[in-house]
A and B are shown apart, each in its own frame.
Chain A
Amino acid sequence: MKIMVVDDEPIIADTLVDILRGEGYSALSVSNGESAIKCAEMFRPDVLVTDVIMPGLDGIETAKAVLKLLSRCRILLFSGQAASADLLTKATSEGYHFEMLAKPINPEVLLNVLKQKPESSAQEHPIRRAACPDGDL
Chain B
Amino acid sequence: MSFCWSWRKGGRIESAPQPGPSPELERLQHELRHLKRALRDLVALSVMPAAWVGRSSRDIANGVLELLFSTLRLEAAYVCIDAIASEGQCEVVKCTEGAYFQKWIEENKEKLRPRRKLEGVLPPVLLASDSAAHLRLEARAIGMDRSFGFVVVGSCRPDFPREEEKLLLSVAANQAATALQSAQLAAEQAAVSKELIDSEERFRAIVETTPECVKLVAADGTLLHMNSAGLAMIGAECADLALGKNIYDVIAPENREKFRDFNERICRGERGSLEFDIIGLTGVRRHMETHAAPLRTNNGSVVQLGVTRDVSEKKRAEKGLRESEQRFRSLSACSPVGFFLTDISGNCVYTNARCQEICGFTFEQALGQGWAEFVHPADRDRVLKQWTEIAMQGGQLAQEFRWGTSDESVRWAYVRSAPQLSDDGTLIGHVGTVEDITERKRSEALLRQSEEEFRGLANAIPQLVWMAEPDGWIYWYNQGWYSYTGTTPDEMAGWGWRTVHEPAVLPTVLERWKGCIATGEPFEMTFPLRGADGVFRPFLTRVVPIRDQQGRITRWFGTNTDVSPEAEKEKQLRISQERLHAALAASATGTFRWNPYTGEFLEFDDNLKRLFGFDPLEEVRVTEDFIARVHTEDLPELVKRVDACRRGADFEMEYRVLLPHRGIRWLYDRAKMEWADGEPTYLVGACTDITTRKQAEEVQHKLAAIVESSDDAIIGKDLNGIVTSWNRSAEQMFGYGAEEMIGRSILTIIPSELRSDEDMILSKIRRGEKIEHFETVRQTKAGERVDVSLSISPVRDDQGRIIGAAKIARNMTEKKKIERALRTTEKLAAAGRLAATVAHEINNPLEAVNNLVFLAKRDLKDTQQASGHLVLAERELGRVAHIARQTLGFYRDTSSPAPIIIAKTFDDLLYLYEKRLEVRSIQIIKRYKEDIEITAYPGEIRQAFSNLITNAMDAMPRGGTLVIRVRTDRQWGGLKSTGVRITIADNGTGIQPEHRANLFEPFFTTKADVGTGLGLWITRGIVTKHGGKIQVKSSVDVGRHGTTFSIFLPFREQSTATRPGVAREVSSGIGVQ
Contact = CB atoms under 8 A, between A and B. Distances in A.
A, B from the same assembly: yes
A101 B881 CA distance: 13
Contact of A22 (B839, B844, B855, B1066): B855
A132 B890 contact: no
A100 B858 contact: no
Contacts of A88: 1070
Contacts of B847: 12, 80, 103-105
Contacts of A82: 836, 839, 889-890
B639 to A, nearest CB: 77
B840 A81 contact: yes
Contact of A101 (B878, B1069, B1072): B1072
B1073 interface: yes
Quick one: which of A11, A12, A82, A88 has the most chain B CB within 10 A? A82
Given A102-B1072, A125-B1071, A19 B840 contact: no
B843 interface: yes
A88 to B, nearest CB: 8
Quick one: which of A11, A100, A124 has the most chain B CB within 10 A? A11
Contacts of B884: 104
Contacts of A42: none
Nearest to A129: B1069
A81 to B, nearest CB: 5
B386 to A, nearest CB: 91
B168 to A, nearest CB: 122
Contacts of B878: 106
B1068 A135 contact: yes
Interface string A105-129: 1111100010000000000111001
Prevailing SS type, chain B contact patch: helix
Nearest to A18: B855
Interface residues of B, number: 32
A87 B843 CA distance: 18
Contact of B891 (A102, A113, A135): A102
Nearest to A53: B840
Interface in A16-39: 16, 18-19, 22
Interface in B873-922: 874, 878, 881, 884-885, 889-891
Contacts of B846: 103-104
B1056 interface: no
* Chain A interface residue number, banded: 35 or more
Given A9-B844, A22-B858, A80-B840, A105 B1070 contact: no
A136 interface: yes
A81 B843 CA distance: 8
Nearest to B846: A104
A102 B885 contact: yes
Nearest to B890: A82
A14 B890 CA distance: 25
A104 B888 CA distance: 12
A84 interface: yes
A19 B1069 contact: no
Given A16-B851, A82-B839, A105-B850, A100 B844 contact: no
A132 B839 contact: no
Contacts of A1: none
A130 interface: yes
A79 B530 CA distance: 135
Nearest to A86: B1069
A80 B1072 CA distance: 13
A107 B1072 contact: no
B854 interface: yes
Contact of A100 (B842, B1066, B1067, B1070): B1070
Contacts of B848: 9, 11-12, 15
B873 to A, nearest CB: 12
Nearest to A134: B1067
Given A19-B858, A80-B844, 8 more contacts: A15-B848, A85-B1070, A88-B1070, A100-B1070, A102-B1070, A106-B878, A132-B1066, A137-B1068
Interface of B: 836, 839-840, 842-844, 846-852, 854-855, 858, 874, 878, 881, 884-885, 889-891, 1066-1073
Interface of A: 9, 11-12, 15-16, 18-19, 22, 53, 80-82, 84-85, 88, 100-109, 113, 124-126, 129-130, 132, 135-137
25 contacts: A9-B844, A9-B848, A12-B847, A12-B848, A15-B852, A16-B851, A53-B840, A80-B839, A80-B847, A84-B1070, A85-B1069, A101-B1072, A102-B843, A102-B885, A103-B846, A104-B843, A104-B881, A104-B884, A105-B847, A106-B874, A107-B850, A125-B1071, A126-B1072, A130-B1070, A132-B1066
Q: Which 3 A-B pairs have the closest CB atoms?
A: A80-B843, A15-B851, A104-B846
